[in-house]
Amino acid sequence: MYRSPFEPVFNAFPNVPPVFHSQFLQSEPVELEGTMHRVWHKPVLRPMFWLLGKFGILVGKAGKNIPTTLVVKPTPKGQLWRRTLHFDEPVQFNSLNTYDPKIKRVMEWVGPGNALGMVWNITFQPPKTLLLVTSGWILRLGRAQIQIPNWLWPWTLGRADTTQHADEKKEDTIHIDLVIRHAIFGEMFGYSGTFQILQEENP
């Protein structure tokens, strides 16, 4: 039986808004539709983000008011998030979320072969705010997993801070803000958007 990788974490949170249950805990595919109000990166780092986008690690473009869809799909390996940002040429950014019982954390895997994993520390601030903060990075080479030292990853990969806030009036709507901070470059990438739970897809 499918079990959401977020379920062990959410079990510790009382009175979570229904929209978060719909996004993170469903056993059937769910689609969210909305707008990225802003996708940005430091202009001086544009070549780096273009390259990261080509490798499916981040979004390599920047813009405002970008129509965006997110399909959350349960799979045998975990929960697949398929994002499509409708720039003039649409951009796809996909990731695989899994749960690691050893560290009791959700992992979000990106890149070719899902070789790069971000460890999320997830907390809930009642009544309507979910916080996801990077607490580590792991590199997967074949069957081997290499933990990037805590002293190193803030200077290389950086830390992502994500806030999801359930809308005050619309129970099917969330507001998302993400910022990636680097020990040298400071705030170097981010996006903000508003999304509505559209429907449950057929598998």
Q: pLDDT tens, 154-168?
A: 999 999 999 999 999
**Is the residue at 189 inside a domain?**
yes
Q: Is residue 2 part of a domain?
A: no
- Average pLDDT, stretch 137-148? 92
Buried b (16+ CB within 10 A) or exposed e, 53-84: beebbbbbbbbeebebbbbbbbeeebbbbebb
Token couple for 130: 């979910």
pLDDT of residue 196: 97
Compute the mean pLDDT over every residue in the chain, rounded to the nearest whole number. Answer: 95
Q: Is residue 202 part of a domain?
A: no
Whether residue 132 is contained in a domain is answered as yes
| Domain assignment present for 119 | yes
Residue 133 pLDDT greater than 90, yes or no: yes
Q: Is residue 117 part of a domain?
A: yes
Rounded to an integer, the average pLDDT of 44-55 is: 95
Quick check: 203 pLDDT over 70? no
Q: How far apart are CA 44 and CA 157, in angstroms?
A: 16
Tell me what pLDDT residue 172 has: 96
Query: Considering only 23-27, 35-39, 116-120, 140-144, which range has the smallest mean pLDDT?
Result: 140-144
Rounded to an integer, the average pLDDT of 174-190 is 97
Q: What is the pLDDT of residue 200?
A: 52
Q: What CATH number has the domain bearing residue 175?
A: 2.40.128.20
Closest CA to 140 of 161, 119, 167: 119
Residue 122, pLDDT > 80, answer yes
Residue 198 above 90 pLDDT?
A: no
Question: Across the chain, which distance is largest between two alpha carbons, in Å?
Answer: 47
- Residue 131 confidence (pLDDT): 98
In a domain, 1, yes or no: no
Domain-located, residue 36:
yes
Q: What is the pLDDT of residue 80?
A: 97
The CA distance from 189 to 89, in Å, is: 20
Q: How many domains does the chain have?
A: 1
Report pLDDT digits (tens) over 85-113: 999 999 999 999 999 999 999 999 999 99
pLDDT value at residue 143:
85
**Domain limits at 150?**
7-196
pLDDT band at 199, cuts 50/70/90?
low
State how beta strands 105-110 and 63-75 pair: unpaired
